[in-house]
Amino acid sequence: MATNETNEYRQLVSGLGYDTNVPEAGFVHGDALRAQTAGDGLDDRRFRYAAVLDPEKLGVTDVFEINGAPCIYMKSLSAEPSEERVRNWHRTAWNHGLGRMLWIVTPTEVRVLNAFAPPPKEEHRRMHPAELLRCAVDDLEQLRRYELDRISLESGQFWTTDVGRRITRDSRIDAELVKDLKIASQILIERDCEPIQAYRLMLRTLFTAYLEARNVLPAKLFDHLQATTFGEVLSRVGETKTFFERMRETFNGDLFPPPPTRNEDEGQYSYQKKHLDVARAVVTRQNLTSGQQTFDFWQYDFEVIPIELISSIYEDFIYKDDQSTAKARGTHYTPVNLVDLVFSQVFDDHQFSKKLPHDAKILDLACGSGVFLVDAFRRLVARRVSAGERLTRTLVRNVLSNQIFGVDVSETAVEIAAFSLCLTAFELDPSPGSAQHLRFRHSLKRRNLFVGDAFSTSGFVEKEPFREKQFSIVVGNPPWNKPKGVRSTSEASSRSHIEYCEQQEPPIELPFRSPIDQAFIWRSRDFLHSSGRIGLILDAKNFFSQEEQSLTSKRQLFCDLRIRVMLNLSVLHDKQLFPSAKQPAMVFVAEHCKPKKGDSFVFASAERSETFRKHGIVELFLERLNHLPIARIPEETHLFKIATYGTARDRAIMRQLFSDFDPLESVLATWSCQFNQGFIKGNHSRDAPDDFPKHKLEDRELTRFRQGVVGLPPFEYSRLERPREGRIYSGPLFLVRQSLQDHRLVGAMCNADITYSRTYFGIPMHKSQMWRLDLLNAYLNSSLAMYCFLMTATRFGIDKQIAEQNDFERLPFRAVETEEECHELRNIVRKLAIESKPNLSVLDEAVFDFYGLPNWQREYVADTIRFDLDFVRRGSKATSVLPADKDEMRLYAETMVMQIRSNLTATELSVNADIVTGLSHLRCVVIRFDEKRNRRVRFSNTLEDKFSSRLAELLHAPLSAGVQLRRSLVHFDADRCIIVKFAQKRFWSRARAYDDSDSIFYELCRGGE
């Protein structure tokens, strides 16, 4: 038992489900980290948590992680601490910048503090301002009411509570430090310091303070300067200039960025006294006010702040100042949690055909300030130590010199990357204060880190590691911008990546508009050895695009590389996944070899989370994990979109529909018509024809089924950017709208001429063919069309909530030759069109009949629209997140029992179901195979104690493919199968019953292993 680890603490963490006694289940014991046991696989965590493990700083007892990211620092005490100690512990937790909460547990009470809240500036006798909750240590029920049990945290339930919403990244150390650095720089500028020199002084000050806090600065730096600390040096101009020059000489240039460029002289190290006063306030942590601005650096502890946060702070600091350059290059700084997510996949040997060698070389072709390289450095050192090598300065420097490489177009970024890596070398150094071999033997610039275009044919490519394809891993977050045309002057619009792809043999086809990030996948191959690994964060839109160029590119890519993992983070695009960008992201992991016969890869999608912008935890769940056959990629062009929101049954339904019916665009072509987008006001650059229809449809909902013109405003625009041809506005025509209405696509027939805007699409048709408009009217207003749209639309649910014209055109559509074949369906549509509140379920059943869907598919489609689409559109406001009621639970259980029975012969097994209530946020269904005959579903109030005590352990067992969370459990126990899920309606629909019955039947066939 750890020092001060009390029985009360142990009962608390066990009772709330955190410590399940399952290795690598997200609960990291502090004793295990402090034990320094060789080969235990914890060395990377030891490096990461060194500051909070230190008893002089925080001395955590345990760490609870979610998806590999620290969530709670837990500290057990045998006696009540003083408020001063609590303040110091919280300050350390905040400076570490990774954990979300700090729990302080004594024999009598537990205190929960917000570790993202800044330390208070004043003493508070009664309660620490960051305190979220305080209760008796044995009051587990109160902690559960606040959703602080493990299940509620991992499911995301906690983050929706009033307490959870108080934990926000807006006040995390990196955000606060960037804000204070910005204020300090502005004060410098007000004091007549050139902007570039102001930023340089702040960064040099920050970096030197970091070194000093870690006792890395040798005493000789202060010789004859009448000072023993950096703060004292900054009080005098001449001594500061000498000190800066010595710093650059002592650390071989890499540890003092950004140094003067080729066009500057050493005089750039000179600052006036009024400038150095600002830097001194930073180092000595004094308050400084100028005009309306104040900053106070007292709260920062540079001995604790992780190196990777310093790198990301730099990027955020620079990008906030020069957003135009960042936007032009398509570069945005990568949060640390995404870096962790990428490395958790590329370092997983189980995903690849060969084990990663201990001397693996890692490359980032768009390294920025080195966020990926810093993490790679630490992981490589940990890997070698775990393999039995002794941690020494020589080992650390060897890894840095021989295994870490990067390229970037920005010289300043490369300089910061060099600094970050050297600083990491001191962080990993077992004796950083030793003066022996302090100076780095080689500068990293031009040896490991290079300034240049990743697609260049000269420069860094001539170096041996690149020339000889020595790299085991290529990682990074390359720029995403697309070329803007021949007149663009932005760096991202350079054609170098396009020319590179065109010169390959065979030529490489990039997706639509030739995005540069996709070219980085192919460029990575040039430097990888056989079976090397690729781990990149890419623009997700290109994988969902249905443009022919994109489909060709995708086929080529998936035939040339062995894809291992794709993690779709699209739903977080507007939740500050990247603080300075809103593009949908995909983590792409592949092996540099041809795919093998029968290969599949893991495709998982993040859960929509309204609170992600606050807590920053990427939630990946087992239920959203698909194993997709690589061979199906060329055949099923919608596979990624279906896998984002669907299951194997969704794939089966869509395959059948596309097999039986043609895309709507093809059908319209045989009818000699097409979709047309309405007018665009835009810049009013063209005259609007005088003969346009007098009624205007703009910025209003369609009347489902039949759109009249009475009451519409007149068309009175004289000029438009794109008027379109007048014939597209002639009635009769069928109209659809980009926006959904009542969770459905909406369409309407209009008999009159009507001028409609860009948010509508129209299909004019001859009066003799109006029966075909009825056919369109029935289908596009049905739940089946909405279901197909959800599963195939390229941007809906990815980064938009609207329908594009080509989304309608791709829908599978049943065309008939004669009016008589759809007579019944036409009658239903015409009846509904005159009803004030049409019953759409009548339409749905008629469309299901017309398309020949079996009963299970009808139920599956209906529940997908009712529950899943509701969540896709409304998130935490959806009714589908409310607890399932008894009727819904009964319907789920009956559907499951019926489905399992249908797969068994009458004499094989009895199949019955018991629904267990009274499990708080959970619901449970027990499928029994041990009774003599089948019976009806019945309800029970409790679960057997034997199983209930193991619930937390089973719910949080380690999973494959790096996905650490599960919201449900299908567990075989003797002659029973126990299904436990969170209570939300969307997990207990009939559609989920069909999916779960598939899993159970599969296990029955395997013998319940």
Query: Residue 626: what pLDDT?
Result: 87
- Nearest residue to 875 (alpha-carbon basis) of 147, 154, 66, 160: 160
The average pLDDT across 735-748 equals: 95
Predicted confidence band at 552 (pLDDT cuts at 50, 70, 90)?
A: very high
Torsion of CA 825, 826, 830, 833, to 10 degrees: 60
* Strands 719-720 and 733-737, sheet pairing: unpaired
Query: Residue 826: what pLDDT?
Result: 94
CA distances from 862 to 458, 655, 856, 870, 890 (A): 58, 18, 10, 12, 17
* Strands 912-919 and 922-928, sheet pairing: antiparallel
Tell me which of 51-65, 67-81, 172-186 is least confident. Answer: 172-186
Predicted confidence band at 489 (pLDDT cuts at 50, 70, 90)?
A: very low
pLDDT at 946 over 70: no
Q: What is the mean pLDDT of the chain?
A: 87
pLDDT at 477 over 70: yes
Report the percentage of the chain scoring pLDDT > 90: 58
- Nearest residue to 578 (alpha-carbon basis) of 305, 331, 328: 331
DSSP 720: E
Predicted confidence band at 485 (pLDDT cuts at 50, 70, 90)?
A: very low
The average pLDDT across 696-719 equals: 95
Query: Residue 958: what pLDDT?
Result: 40
The average pLDDT across 793-806 equals: 93
619: CB partners within 8 A, 6+ apart: 66, 67, 156, 606, 607, 609, 612, 965
Query: Residue 484: what pLDDT?
Result: 42
* Strands 404-408 and 362-364, sheet pairing: parallel
Query: Residue 311: what pLDDT?
Result: 66
| Alpha-carbon dihedral sign for residues 696, 700, 706, 708 | negative
Q: Edge-to-edge strands of the sheet including 27-29?
A: 27-29, 62-66, 69-76, 101-105, 109-114, 131-136
More confident residue, 622 or 927: 927
pLDDT at 588 over 70: yes
More confident residue, 170 or 791: 791
Q: Model's pTM, two decimal places?
A: 0.89
The average pLDDT across 8-34 equals: 82
pLDDT at 1009 over 50: no
More confident residue, 981 or 532: 532
Tell me which of 9-13, 66-70, 617-621 is least confident. Answer: 617-621
Question: Hunting for tokens 């016969």 — which residue is that?
Answer: 597
Query: Residue 955: what pLDDT?
Result: 54
pLDDT at 130 over 60: yes
CA distances from 878 to 278, 477, 786 (A): 51, 33, 17
Which of 408-412, 488-492, 647-651 is the most confident on average? 647-651
> For 38-61, how does the pLDDT look when each residue is reduced to its tens digit (9 = 90+)?
667 788 888 889 999 999 999 999
Query: Residue 807: what pLDDT?
Result: 96
The average pLDDT across 530-549 equals: 95
944: CB partners within 8 A, 6+ apart: none
For the chain, how many helices (H) and strands (E)?
A: 38, 33
> For 84-113, how does the pLDDT look when each residue is reduced to its tens digit (9 = 90+)?
999 999 999 999 999 999 999 999 999 999
> For 761-775, how does the pLDDT look when each residue is reduced to its tens digit (9 = 90+)?
999 999 989 999 999
Query: Residue 20: what pLDDT?
Result: 62
Alpha carbon 830 to chain centroid distance? 46
> For 639-666, how does the pLDDT look when each residue is reduced to its tens digit (9 = 90+)?
999 999 999 999 999 999 999 999 999 9
> For 233-278, how does the pLDDT look when each residue is reduced to its tens digit (9 = 90+)?
999 999 999 998 888 777 766 666 554 444 544 445 568 999 999 9
The average pLDDT across 315-332 equals: 54
pLDDT at 631 over 50: yes
The average pLDDT across 278-300 equals: 74
Query: Residue 964: what pLDDT?
Result: 43
Query: Residue 890: what pLDDT?
Result: 97
| Alpha-carbon dihedral sign for residues 239, 240, 244, 245 | negative
| Tokens (6 digits) for 895 | 């559907």
> For 137-174, how does the pLDDT look when each residue is reduced to its tens digit (9 = 90+)?
999 989 988 989 887 887 778 888 899 999 998 888 88
Predicted confidence band at 614 (pLDDT cuts at 50, 70, 90)?
A: confident
The average pLDDT across 489-503 equals: 74
The average pLDDT across 525-537 equals: 96
Q: From CA 754, how far away is CA 646, in angstroms rounded? A: 38
| Alpha-carbon dihedral sign for residues 230, 234, 235, 239 | positive
Asked if 255 and 420 touch (Cβ cutoff 8 Å), the reply is: no
Query: Residue 590: what pLDDT?
Result: 97
Predicted confidence band at 433 (pLDDT cuts at 50, 70, 90)?
A: low
529 burial type by CB count under 10 A (0-12 exposed, 13-18 middle, 19+ buried): middle
Partnered with residue 984 across adjacent β-strands are 883
pLDDT at 475 over 60: yes
The average pLDDT across 816-840 equals: 94
Query: Residue 944: what pLDDT?
Result: 66
Query: Residue 1004: what pLDDT?
Result: 78
DSSP, residue by residue, 612-650? HHHH----EEEEEEEEEEGGGTTT-TTHHHHHHH--HHH
Query: Residue 952: what pLDDT?
Result: 53
- Nearest residue to 704 (alpha-carbon basis) of 674, 744, 668, 738: 744
